[in-house]
Chain A
Amino acid sequence: MGHTLAEKLLMKNTGIEDIKPGDIVITHPDRYLTLDVYSSHVLKKYNEMEFEMVKHPEKMVLVSDHIMPCCVPKSDPRVYNSLLELAERTGATDIHLGEGICHSLMHEYRYAKPGTLVTATDSHTTTYGAAGCFCTGIGHTEYASVLGTDELWLKVPSAIKIVIDGKLPRGVYSKDVILKIIGDIKADGGQYKSMEFTGSTVADMSMHARFTISNMSLEAGAKCALFEVDQKTADYFDMDLSEIDWIKIDDDANYEHVLHYRAEEIEPQLSCPKGVDDVNGISQVLGARINEVYIGSCTNGSIEDLAVVAEILKGKEVDRFTKVIIVPATNRAFTEALRRGYIKTFLDAGCMVSHPCCGLCCGMPFGLMSDDEVVLGTNNRNFIGRMGTKKSMIYLASPAVAAASALTGVISDPRDLY
């Protein structure tokens, strides 16, 4: 019997030769990430657990991104300082303060590599599954336990294979693909499961496009969202493909379901304010009024996303009464966007450009909406009140839809611009 990607990666980490869904295995994660928001909680729990020392401080990554820079003087500086305190107490050395969003940094700095197992105190830890890395989120108490034990129990998940074949039409991106899938399988369709992606469309996708899918799969409840590795993966991580080409789906692996999609049939998709799985093709929501556009986040704030937006906005002006906020995911993406002239394009078009951070997606520190206001974002979730008051509304879409809509102040189809 062959194996799914999740099984292969868990077998590699544990050294157990044959595992099946439902087995509980003890893993030793290769890297563990935590953030500003959780640092004080990790430290408190770690102290209460009475461990003598952190087993592998060199495996830790600490990132200040959610509350960076500090916004509310009463609470935020305390959060920032707790991360520094955690670093000092544990001996962690891989620390990134205000350099960008943790999940984007995890693959940009090659902390999360193909064939490894990574955990973090954040739900979107699924992101690096695009690189053939088994990665999944935990809470701060469990993180404290991992520091002291270097162990994490995991139940081997059953898996769904998602086969996407064909060529995506112009103006349709990986974000549209994953929104379409979430609309079909719903917000719990991947719950406890490994979502595994394959097919010719996936093979054509860049690493950044794949990261978008793995990131967003969490919104279907996925435990992990994995891709096979290929030459693009090897190049991105500066590895030899022969070291990692075992990260392939076996033909006789056992999948709970197999879903098939044709890329040509997918139009731009929007997740509508009722919930992340209330997904509609753009033709159903064209012309809906928006007050603000947010382009950024660990889902769609990469240099490739900024390139798509710059192409649409170049030489044009955004709608006068629509606030357009662009936030590159990392300093490297920001620097490259400056070098390529994208930032000037954004500013000339009348956008606001902000520093790399989680920003509006985590409800701070700027751009929040009040009752009945509508934001169209390229981020990953539109829960009630996530980006403002509980009566504000959130649409989620690709950077191309966001840029096209920024020009008009209503939801607009990027395919009309080509």
Chain B
Amino acid sequence: MDKKITGRVWKLPDDVDTDVIISVQACLLPTVKEMSEHTLEKIRPELAKQAKPGDIIVAGRNFGCGSSREMAPECIKELGISCIIAKSFARIFYRNAINNGMLVIESPDIPDSVEDMCEITVELNKCVTIDGKEFPIPNIPENLLKIVQDGGLVKSNQKVNRARIKGGNT
């Protein structure tokens, strides 16, 4: 994961639920790639087609509320979105995003200070820069940062299991 990301903002409202991010019907498609074509189609139908690698979602309160479906952060990641900033996250979405190696940042001020499609820069555990103005952001807890830096929980576990086998420690 890069320590510094610059990307274009997709601005979203409060209470974006996981049904809106990806419907249960779309979740039944065989691959995340196919599912991701339906990401956020109910509120931003152009997003799935136009999202570029590095883009950043900036949302209001309670982002990812509702269902536990992990396809929500998986689809957002599949589109190349590098980071999500929100006033607050629903807890299962937050865990799922981290477990998929996706950076999630809570900030009370940033969402009200950005415009849709503007460019911002995120520096991990330091600040977000909007129009030359720096907004401090909280540190990500150490146990979660480790998962993000490993590239997600799959790789984290893989690393531990491979080291165990190599060390002959059963």
In the complex formed, the residue of A with least CB distance to B17 is: A383
Whether A137 and B68, one on each chain, are in contact in the complex, defined by CB atoms closer than 8 angstroms, is yes
Given that A140-B70, A383-B66 are contacting pairs, would A363 and B158 also be in contact in the complex, using a CB cutoff of 8 Å? no
A75, B30: Cβ atoms closer than 8 Å: yes
Is B124 engaged at the interface, CB distance under 8 Å to the other chain?
Answer: no
- With CB as the reference atom, state the residue of chain B lying closest to A44: B154
In whole Å, how far is A365's beta carbon from the nearest beta carbon of chain B?
10
- Of B47-55, B91-99, B109-117, B130-138, the one contacting chain A is B91-99
B1-29 contacts to A, CB under 8 A, are 15, 17, 19-20, 23-25, 27-29
CA distance A229 to B73 in the complex (A): 37
**Inter-subunit contact B91/A223 (CB<8 Å):** yes
Q: Are A363 and B65 in contact (CB under 8 A)?
A: no
A261 in the interface, Cβ–Cβ < 8 Å? Answer: no
Q: Is A347 an interface residue (CB 8 A)?
A: no
A37 near B27: Cβ-Cβ < 8 Å: yes
- Cβ of A244 under 8 Å from chain B: no
CB–CB B91/A188 < 8 A: no
Given contacts A49-B154, A363-B25, contact A121 B65 (CB under 8 A): no
CB of A265 within 8 Å of the partner chain? no
Contacts of A75 in B (CB 8 A): 28-30
A138 at the B interface (CB under 8 A): yes
Question: Nearest chain A CB to B153's CB is how many angstroms away?
Answer: 5
Inter-subunit contact B28/A67 (CB<8 Å): yes
Q: Is the CB of A50 within 8 A of B91?
A: no
Q: How far is the CA of A381 from the CA of B24 in the complex (A)?
A: 14
Interchain CB contact under 8 A, A188 and B23: no
A371 CB, nearest partner CB in chain B, Å: 13
Partner of B158, one of A41, A50, A66, A139: A50
B143 adjacent to A153 (CB under 8 Å): yes
Q: Are B100 and A363 in contact (CB under 8 A)?
A: no
Q: Using a CB-CB cutoff of 8 Å, which residues 347-377 of chain A contact chain B?
A: 362-364
Report if A383-B92 is in contact (Cβ < 8 Å); known contacts: A24-B141, A49-B157, A139-B99.
no
Q: Is the CB of B154 within 8 A of A48?
A: yes
Q: Determine if B153 and A145 form an interchain contact, defined as CB atoms under 8 angstroms apart.
A: yes
The CB with the most chain A CB atoms within 10 A, among B61, B66, B88, B100, is that of: B66
Q: Which residues of A contact B143 (CB under 8 A)?
A: 24, 153
Residue from A37, A49, A139, A386 having most chain B Cβ neighbours under 10 A: A139
- Judge if A76 is at the interface, Cβ distance under 8 Å: yes
Contact with A along B124-155 (1 / 0, CB 8 A): 00000000000000000101000000001110
For the complex, what is the distance from the CA of A145 to the CA of B42, rounded to whole Å?
Answer: 32
CB-defined contacts of A57 to chain B, threshold 8 Å = none
Q: Is the CB of A364 within 8 A of B24?
A: yes
Bound Cα distance A138, B23 (Å) = 18
Residues of A within 8 A of B19 (CB): 363, 381, 383-386
Judge whether A191 and B62 touch: CB under 8 Å: yes
**B15 cross-chain contacts in A, Cβ below 8 A:** 187-188, 275
- Whether A83 is near chain B, meaning CB under 8 Å from some CB there, is no
A48 to B154, CA, bound (A): 7
CB distance from A160 to the nearest CB of B (A): 15
- A260 in contact (CB, < 8 A): no
Q: Is A331 in contact with chain B by the CB < 8 A criterion?
A: no
The verdict on A167 contacting chain B, using a C-beta distance below 8 Å, is no
**CB-contact partner of A221 in B25, B29, B65, B158, under 8 A:** B65
Contacts of A275 in B (CB 8 A): 15
Q: Are B161 and A51 in contact (CB under 8 A)?
A: yes
| B61-A188 in contact (CB<8A) | yes
Check if B42 sits within 8 Å of A384, measured CB to CB. yes
Q: Contact mask A89-132 → B, CB, 8 Å, 1/0?
A: 00000000000000000000000000000000111010000000
Contact (A221, B91) CB under 8 Å given A45-B154, A75-B28: yes
Q: Are A66 and B24 in contact (CB under 8 A)?
A: yes
Partner of B154, one of A72, A141, A364, A385: A141
Q: Assess the B157–A385 pair: CB atoms within 8 A.
A: no
Q: Is A170 an interface residue (CB 8 A)?
A: no
Cα–Cα distance between A187 and B66 once the two chains are bound (Å): 10
Q: Is the CB of A139 within 8 A of B92?
A: yes
- Judge whether B153 and A142 touch: CB under 8 Å: yes
A41 to B70, CA, bound (A): 9
18 pairs, CB–CB < 8 Å, chain A vs chain B: A37-B69, A50-B158, A66-B24, A72-B28, A75-B29, A75-B30, A76-B28, A125-B68, A141-B96, A141-B154, A145-B153, A148-B157, A188-B65, A221-B90, A363-B25, A364-B24, A385-B20, A386-B19
Interface of A with B (CB < 8 Å)? Answer: 24, 37-38, 41, 45, 48-52, 66-67, 72, 75-76, 78-79, 121-123, 125, 136-142, 144-145, 148-149, 153, 187-188, 191-192, 221, 223, 275, 362-364, 381, 383-386, 390
In order of increasing CB-CB distance, the 4 nearest A-B pairs are: A139-B70, A139-B96, A49-B157, A188-B62
